[in-house]
Structure 1
Amino acid sequence: MARRCAWRRSLLAAAALAGSLVLGGCAGPQVQDYTGQTPVLDLREYFNGELTAHGLFTDRSGAVKRRFTVRMVGRWQGDQGVLEEDFTYSDGQTERRVWRLSRQADGRYVGRADDVLGEAKGEAAGNALRWQYTLRLPVDGTTYEVQFDDWMYLMDRQVMLNRATMSKFGIRLGEVTLSFHKP
């Protein structure tokens, strides 16, 4: 009888833990939370022309592992855009990513790039955009597929801040922080 009660208590504790993890996963901000915020972010307007961004990658402990600058040029024709990104890292390494972006009828965005697995998906409301995708990330001769959950916030017509969480198998690996500037 004591074993059966202990087993039930263990089962109830596991169920409670699982339930709190599921509910906790839903507790984060939603893009609609920013609906009334201004200035209103329109990717077609902000990512049109030349931009510069400065960023860094921090690991799980918060230590800065990489710093970089990104020179960008965006061009839109209606709801179709191309955003060319040229990265220069503090160690001298360079990288290039070209996004092909599309604004959907419902106001959401989708994007593709050569190092992105499948399609990136974004949703904007007010001054915010949530952009999610899986990136093929080369590290020391091996390529890893890591998930990015980007949150971008338009501060004014020239400045946008970006905070992205990088994870694999649901485990947070670090964060990328960027400050975009449009002349």
Structure 2
Amino acid sequence: MTSPPSTRDRLLDAFSELLVAAGSRGATLDAVAASAGVSKGGLLYHFGTKDALVDGLLERFRRMAGEDARDMRTAPAGATEYYLRTSVIQQGDPLSRTAVAVLHLAQGGDPRAADAFTAATEEWRTAIEEEVGDRVLSRVVQLVGDGLWAGSSIGVAPDDLDDVVAGVAAVLAAARAPRHAGPPA
């Protein structure tokens, strides 16, 4: 049996949900406290300012993204397949929910959020590159995964994910195949 989330985690969850639903302006300290079922004093005990709340969310995102990159590197099917399959957002996925919240902050002009998201995407891309052995190919894989993520974030889940994964594997194999110089002259 799992223990209930800590007050700090409930506050970060509420902040994430409000950022996604109402943007940074709607994610006020009062709204976060109310959504988390915590008094404003309780929120201020954990996060003295909205900036501290942002910092807490970014710290959570960095930790989660780092754990995800580690999982990619040790996934039995490999980093590429792991990235593609986990790019399809599952309802309630904590990393996706946190990533979308961080993106909202970045889109709102928060450079700390933009830096955190950039660092995470680079870490994921590097994990793919370690497997495929090529920077450009790792970026192509990442772009396919990003498309899957963007589509599923608005409710357009692919019904052919297995085919997409197989197609990416075929493209990678073809790109790595030795090239012939053509017929002799």
Same fold (TM over 0.5): no
Structure in which a larger fraction of residues adopt strand: 1
Q: Give me the TM-score of the superposition, normalised by structure 1.
A: 0.23
